Structure 1
Amino acid sequence: MNRVLVTGAAGRIGCAVLEALGRDRVTALVLPGTPVQADRVVEGSVCDVATVRAAMGEVDGVIHLAARPAPHRGTPYEVFGENTLGTFTVLEEAGRAGVRNAVVASSLAANGLPFATAPLSPAYVPLDDRVPSQAEDPYALSKLTDEQTAAMMSRRHGMAVVALRFPFVGGFTERLREHADKVAADPSLGAASLWSYLETRDAARAAVLALRVPGGSHTFHVAAPRTLAPYPTLDLLRRFHPTTEIRAALPGRTTPLDLAPAQHLLGFTAEHEL
Structure 2
Amino acid sequence: MVARAMVTGAAGRIGRAVLALLAERGIEANALVLDDPGDLAARLVVTGDATDATAVRAALEGADAVIHLAAIPTPERNTAYEVFAGNSLATFTVLEEAGRAGIRHAAVASSWGVTGLPWTDAEDPHPPYAPVDEAMTSQVADPYGLSKQVDELTARMMARRHGMSVVCLRYPYVGGFEERLRAHAARLTADPAAGARDLWTYLEVRDAARAALLALDVPGRAAHAVHLCAPEIIVPYPTEELLRRFHPTTELRSPLPGRAAPVDTSAARRLLGFTAENLLDHEEVPPHRAGDGGQPRRGG
Q: Give TM class, smaller chain.
A: over 0.9
Q: 1:41-56 residue pairs with structure 2 within 5 A? A: 41-56=45-60
Q: What CA distance in whole angstroms lies between the structure 2 residues aligned with 1:125 and 1:212?
A: 30
Q: 1:79-90 residue pairs with structure 2 within 5 A? A: 79-90=83-94
**Structure 1 counterpart of 2:284:** none
Gaps in structure 2 of 5+ consecutive residues: 281-300
Contact 1:119–1:192 (8 Å) recurs in 2: no
Q: What CA distance in whole angstroms lies between the structure 2 residues aligned with 1:146 and 1:71?
A: 15
Deviates more, 1:24-33 or 1:87-96: 24-33
**Structure 1 counterpart of 2:290:** none
Q: Secondary structure at the match of 1:229?
A: coil
How much does 1:56 deviate?
1.4
Contact 1:88–1:149 (8 Å) recurs in 2: yes
How much does 1:210 deviate?
0.7
| 1:183 and 2:184 are equivalent in the alignment | no
**Structure 2 counterpart of 1:238:** 244
Q: Secondary structure at the match of 2:168?
A: strand
Q: What CA distance in whole angstroms lies between the structure 2 residues aligned with 1:198 and 1:73?
A: 23
**Structure 2 counterpart of 1:73:** 77
Q: What CA distance in whole angstroms lies between the structure 2 residues aligned with 1:114 and 1:81?
A: 20
Q: 1:26-37 residue pairs with structure 2 within 5 A? A: 26-35=29-38, 36-37=40-41
Q: 1:78-157 residue pairs with structure 2 within 5 A? A: 78-117=82-121, 118-157=123-162
**Structure 1 counterpart of 2:255:** 249
- Report how many residues are paired: 274
How much does 1:31 deviate?
0.8
Counterpart code for 1:211: L
**Structure 1 counterpart of 2:172:** 167
Contact 2:104–2:163 (8 Å) recurs in 1: yes
Q: What CA distance in whole angstroms lies between the structure 2 residues aligned with 1:34 and 1:74?
A: 23
Q: Cα–Cα, structure 1 residues 244 and 261, in superposed 2: closer, same or farther, change >3 Å?
A: same
Q: Secondary structure at the match of 2:169?
A: strand
Q: What CA distance in whole angstroms lies between the structure 2 residues aligned with 1:91 and 1:229?
A: 37
Percentage of matched positions with identical amino acids? 58
| Displacement over 4 Å in runs of 4+ | none
**Structure 2 counterpart of 1:271:** 277
Deviates more, 1:123-132 or 1:173-182: 123-132
Deviates more, 1:158-167 or 1:111-120: 111-120
Deviates more, 1:23-32 or 1:153-162: 23-32
Q: Deviations over 1:83-119 (max 9, x none)?
A: 0000000000011011110000000011111112353
Aligned counterpart in structure 2 of residue 220 of structure 1, from 226, 233, 239: 226
Q: What CA distance in whole angstroms lies between the structure 1 residues aligned with 2:29 and 2:91?
A: 19
Contact 2:50–2:94 (8 Å) recurs in 1: yes
Q: What CA distance in whole angstroms lies between the structure 2 residues aligned with 1:74 and 1:33?
A: 22
